[in-house]
Structures are given as structure tokens and as C-alpha cells.
Amino acid sequence: MEPVGAGLRKVRRRSRFAGGRWRRDVLLLTMMLALLVIVVNGVYRLAGKALYDPPRPGPGDAFPTAQASGYAARFAHAYLTWDQSNPQSRLEQLKLFFPRGADTQLGWDGRGTQRVVGQPLPAGVTTRDDHRAVVHVAALLEPGGWTCMDVAVYAAAGGGALAITSYAAFVSCPAVAAAGVPNDSRQGDDAAAAEMLPTITSFLRAYGVSSTDLTQVVTPDSGITGLRGAAVFVDIIRLFVPDLSEGGGSFERTAEVVMRWRTPSGGAVTQMYRLSMRSVGGRWFVHSIDGGVESPDVAPAVGGVAPAPSLSPSPSISSSRSPGPEVSNSSSASGTR
């Protein structure tokens, strides 16, 4: 008789890590991770190339516009200046640009007298490729007034060497655009303007000559240094401070001032500024000053081509001075132009 349980075998559960199966699992997991990395990296590169790669430079982007503009301006000065009593002077100037040129006078017939007032001004560049472009130049001629012209310039060695490759051609100067600024309907704060007037008057007087008194009317962090004597304050024509309902806080306000400077020539000129004002300890100080304030008094409401210069001198126009500044409660009030 067999003992009880002699025919039963103990079954041992086989571990999933037994034998070589775990190695296959590790290998499969590694392959899946590698595939995931490849897919993610590919998507990232495609997205990055589409979103972040800088655009390829276009034709003419490498043209040295600054060097060519200066070169064309120098050429324009020589080309537009002549004197029939001294033709050799123009010839010598043009030789700087055409050392072996056949037509050393570049088309001038040898008659008349003309000169450039000041220096010609580069007024833009139209590139054709990385070596060729047309430079637009404006010059003030006597006689003749303002004139514009185009000239082709060739650039080599990244602007290290330049050449004029065309006759200069007179072209129309840009027309006047209709850029009328609408009248501003903001309401003014006359009380605030009256409070700021002494500070602004003292500031402009010191600002023109860079007086040491400037530190008494500007905030310590303003960085304002003044005009160093380029102009002397005359008077304030109009002062406008927007009402608090137009925005801003009670301790930081904006003031727009139309005023006059007298230049070393003896003449006076009207200009306009926007001042950022700060109230500290009950006193107003200037924090910043900016020009370029648009005004309906200046912006042309109608565009078109400017008329030709008059050959006869214009009669002098006398202007009357107002006894004091105008404190306006409406920013559309006009000042003296």
C-alpha cells in the first residue's frame, strides 16, 4: 500500500524572470523607448525647423547699404557742383570716382554755375542683388532748390570697394501725403496746468542752456541734460494738461506745451513737446521730455506734389507775440506756427 500523497507532485509556479524571458522583455522595452525617442525627436525637429529657423537671406540682403549710401552722397556733391569759370575743379572731384574715365565731366556741357548747399542726403536704397543697388539721394541746389536723383552703385568685398555704374538721373521727390491729424476732443485740466506752468517755464529756460538750475525742476532719475546752448527759451504759447478722466494718476500727469526757442541766428521758432510730470511733496517735477507730438496745426490735410521753388524772395511775415501763455482746456486749440 502506497503512502498517502505519494502520487502527488508539488508544482512550482514558474517566474516570468526565469530562464531568458526577462531578457526578451528588457530588449522589447528598450526598443520601444528608442523608437519613442526617435519619433519625438523627429517631430521636435520638424516643428522647430518650421517655427524657429531664421529665414534665408533674400537677394540683396547682403548689400552694404550704409557704405553705398555714403559713397553715392559724396558722388552727388561732386556731380551736382560746377562753375563755368573753373571747370577744372569739377573734373578733379569726379576723378575720385572715375580715375580713368573717358568722359571726365560726366556729361556737363561746361556752362552755368551751380553748387550744393550742405551735403546731399541719402534717401533710401533699392537693392538688385548682393552687389548692385540704386541709391536715392536728395540735395539742396543753389539755384534750384531741393532735387532728388537716383544713381546705381556696385559694391565689392562687402563694401570695401565701390563704384558708380550709371549716369545720375533726376527723379521726382516723394510727394506730400495727406496725413491730417483729427482734432483732439480731450478735455483739459486748467487748474493742473496753472500749477505746472511755473515748473515748466523754469524747466524750459534751464533746458535750452543746460543750466545747473535744471536739477531743481527734474526728477533725480530723469536723465535730462538739456540742449547745451543750442537754443534760448522765449515763451510758452500754449499749455495743455489732459483731464484725469482721460487717464493717468493724480501724481503722474502728462503736459503738452507749444513754445518758442530763439536760435543763435537771432530768429525764433515754434516747437511742441510732451512732458511727463511727477508730483513729489506737493511740487511738480519734469520726468521726461519728448518731441514728435502730432498736431493738427502742422499735419497736411491735403497731399500732392510740392510746388516748384519761387525764383523771387518771399516777403517777410511779421508775427505778433502773445502777452502770455494760453492755458487751454481743449487740446484742439491751435498755437502759432
pLDDT band at 250 (very low <50, low <70, confident <90, very high): confident
Same structural domain, 202 and 104? no
pLDDT of residue 116 exceeding 90: yes
For the stretch 34-60, pLDDT in tens is: 888 887 777 666 666 555 556 677 788
Residue 139 resides in a domain = yes
CATH code for position 291:
3.10.450.540
Position 95: which residue type? K
| Judgement on whether residues 79 and 161 belong to the same structural domain of the protein | yes
Does the model's pTM come out above 0.85?
Answer: no
205 lies in the same domain as 151: no
Whether residues 154 and 196 share a domain: the answer is no
Note whether 130 and 65 are within 8 A (CB). Answer: no
CATH at residue 94: 3.10.450
99 in the same domain as 199: no
Asked whether residue 247 is domain-assigned, the answer is yes
Domain-located, residue 34: no
Q: Is residue 196 a part of any domain in this protein? A: yes
Rounded mean pLDDT of 308-324? 48
Q: Determine which of 172-181, 234-243, 303-312 has the lowest per-residue pLDDT on average.
A: 303-312
Q: Is 323 a member of any domain?
A: no
For residue 183, which amino acid is it? Answer: N
Domain count, the chain: 2
Residue 216 lies in a domain: yes
Domain, as residue range, for 115: 65-171
**Interval 56-89: pLDDT, tens:** 777 888 999 999 999 999 999 999 999 999 999 9
Q: Is residue 195 part of a domain?
A: yes
Instruction: Let me know if residue 180 belongs to a domain.
Output: no
